Every structure is written in structure tokens, then in C-alpha cells.
Amino acid sequence: MSPQHPSASASGPEAEADVLDFPLPPPGTMGPPEKCAQLRASCPMARVRLPMDATAWYATRYEDVRALLADPRLIRPTINDWPPRLGQAVDEGPRLITMAELEGPRHAVLRKAIAPAFSSGAVRDHVPRIRAIADRLLAEFEAGGPPGDLVAGFTDPFPLLVLCDLVGIPAEDREWFLPVLDAALGGMVTAEEGQRVTGQLRSYVADLIAQKRNRPGDDVLTRLVRQCADGPLTEDEVMAFGLSMLTVGFGISSFFLADTVHTLLQRPDRWARLRDHRDLLPGAVEELLRYMPVMNGTVLLLATEDIEAGGRTLRKGDAVIPVLASANRDTDVFADAAHFDPDRADNPHLSFGRGTHNCVGAHLARAELTVGLGTLFDRFPGLRPADGQEPAWDDESVTKSPLTLPVSW
């Protein structure tokens, strides 16, 4: 049974005065929002007002976020079902169902099918191809400068091209699907527009599946299509995988990489130390994953039944936001949590989630960060911010990352 959508108040109209505006980082910064530290101390499960005429529980404490991420009573709504739209039927038109929305046996069989391709060993074997992509992009970037915009030249295209290569998405199609993805994920204002872009994306993935069936390649989609023919998978599950890769497969990695380079360039001593001591990179990557507040409250879940969490009663149908960026800065878990410490030894960050829906691409994301940084160190050992040019930021988004990163070398 689908959960009910939250009303304007999760605990009754009399509590509306307790609803906070959605916390956002200050303009021109990564975050997390300054309010998070205060909420962890005084109100770790707060109610916040969302941009789309609804409220949600905003969980900021590590212990609560960790528990909520793995709670099977919380599920992801599709972008067609959220935000709620007056008069829209739940089953109206095509729905954008990704791996995040699959539950139970369907999710389990798909995870099992793709696990070998995203295992640590498979990713390690793929590193030479990842490095070749990084080398090619940075050679082109170097030829155009200095100075240059590292976001446009490297941190945006690199994770996208890596994913296209691994999954089997034609990179040359990006001029078509990237604008459609922006429309799908950028806050659809009408049900009609939502159904239109959903239909476009589903049609695109369906065409890809047909191509892999007729012209197999050395990629994950081809292997999944073969498993459809042999039994365990259905085409709907392969469709969910393809849509997952398009919608979130490369975007978060792009944000992480841009934020990482920006953070290190603001700390030239740390840049130089990692450049000169590559054995420190594995630990530094984990700390970067903890420190980078990319997911500033962008995980939204819905309760399928009443839940007790953080001293509150979450009612069936309530929206819940486990704030990973806040949990990763919880001083009860991480000493000196607000500071970037590449030598941090104990680092149980939650950046890849937890439970059955933990990020299947965690090993790939780590490899992209490690290879991306290593290639930058090799080609541009003296990389630095460009004189007189400041990064531009998307201050309207909770997912904070520089839109431009002017650099010189």
C-alpha cells in the first residue's frame, strides 16, 4: 500500500508554529547549514517546511540518521509521487522508478545481479580505463589554458564519462539526456511536465535495452539484458537500473569531486602533502567523503507506518529527511568534526547510506575520487585558484557544489 502524503503538519495544526524554514547553507558555501549544529544539540528531530507546500521531519543527529537510513518502514517516493499534487492519481502515466524505489525481492534480485560489476575487485580492474578518461580530459583542459574552469573541463564530465563507459550509456547522447534530467530532477511544477520527461527517460532507456539485445557490448547493461533472457531479471528491473544510473549515478560524484578540489585548493599545505605522499590518499578520501556536505538534506523518505525516532512519533505518511551532512559532523562521533583531518583514523561516515539501499557504487565513487585527484596531482602539481576569479555557486540548491572552479597552474 502506498503511504499517504504528509499534510502541512505532521503533529496537528496546533504545532505549526514549531515548523522551521528548511535550513540552507550560507550563500557561496558548501555547508552543512549552520542550523544543523544547533538542532543536533536542542532538537535533533525537527519539523521543517519544504519548498513544495509540505513538511518533513529533519533528522540531524548521527545516531538517528544511521537508524533511519536502515529502517525498512521508510521508503523513497518516486519523483512522480512527490511532491503531492492536487488531483493527481498515484498511477497516472509512466513513473520514474529507480533502484531507490524498488523494495523487497525485486530490489534484492537487481542488487545481486549488478553487485559483481561494482565490487571492489571489478572496480580495481577498471581503474586503467578510469585513468585513461581522466588523462584525456586533463590533456584537453591543459591545452585550453591557463586559466581554466575545472568544473566544465574535468569535475563534471569525468564521472559522467566513467559511468557511460562502465554501464554502456553512449556518452555522445549526453547533449540530449542531460537537459531532460535537469527538467526531471530540478523541481517539476506540473504533473503534465513530470509525466512528459518521465516518459522521455523511460523511452530512452528502453531503446538502450533494445540496442544491447541486438548489439551486445562489454558493459553492465548488456550483462543485465542477458540475465533477462536467462531468467532472474525482468526488463522493468533493468529499466530501474538504467534510470538510476542516469538520475544519480554520476551527479553526486561530480559534486564530490568539485567540492574536494575546492577544499584542497583552499588548503595548499594539504594539497601538497597528499600530492607528495600518495599512501595517505585512501584515508584522505574517506575523510573527504565525510567532510564534503554534498547531501545537505536531499534524501527524502516516507513512513509506511508509525515510527518512534529521536524522541518523536513519525506518523504513517510523514516525510523524513535524514541529513547525512549533519550526521557526518556530529561531535559525539567525530572528534573536531567541523574540521578536515586527512589523518583521521576512525571514520564511520554515512555518505554512502546504510541498509539495503546503501550506495551500490561506493567502490566506484572512491576510485573516481582517488584517480581524479591522482591525475590532477601528476599533471598539475602546482594547481591553484586563478587570480582574481572566484567560484560561482548554485545557492538555490541544497546540493552545494561550485558551478565554476577557476584554476591556474
Q: Does the pLDDT of residue 47 top 90, yes or no?
A: yes
pTM over 0.75: yes
| Structure confidence at residue 7 as a pLDDT band (50, 70, 90) | very low
Does the pLDDT at position 87 exceed 80? no
Distance, first Cα to last Cα, the chain: 57
Domain ranges of the chain: 13-408
Output the pLDDT for position 194: 65
| Average of per-residue pLDDT across 147-175 | 95
Is the N-terminal amide bond of 146 cis, ω within 30° of 0? Answer: yes
* pLDDT confidence of residue 356: 87
Query: Domain 13-408 classified CATH 1.10.630.10?
Result: yes
Looking at every residue in the chain, the average pLDDT score rounds to 87
For residue 189, the model assigns a pLDDT of 43
Question: Where is 158: in which H helix or E strand?
Answer: helix 157-167
Residues paired with residue 314 on neighbouring β-strands, in sequence order: 307
- At residue 309, the 3 state secondary structure works out as strand
- Residue 1's pLDDT band (boundaries 50, 70, 90)? very low
The C-alpha atoms of residue 299 and residue 295 are separated, in whole angstroms, by 7
| Beta strands at 55-59 and 74-75: parallel, antiparallel or unpaired | unpaired
Q: What is the pLDDT of residue 349?
A: 97
> What is the tens place of the pLDDT at every residue in 203-261?
999 999 999 999 999 999 999 999 987 778 898 999 999 988 888 788 888 989 999 99
pLDDT for res 84 = 52
For residues 313 and 298, the answer to whether their CB atoms sit within 8 Å is no
Residue 197: per-residue pLDDT: 79
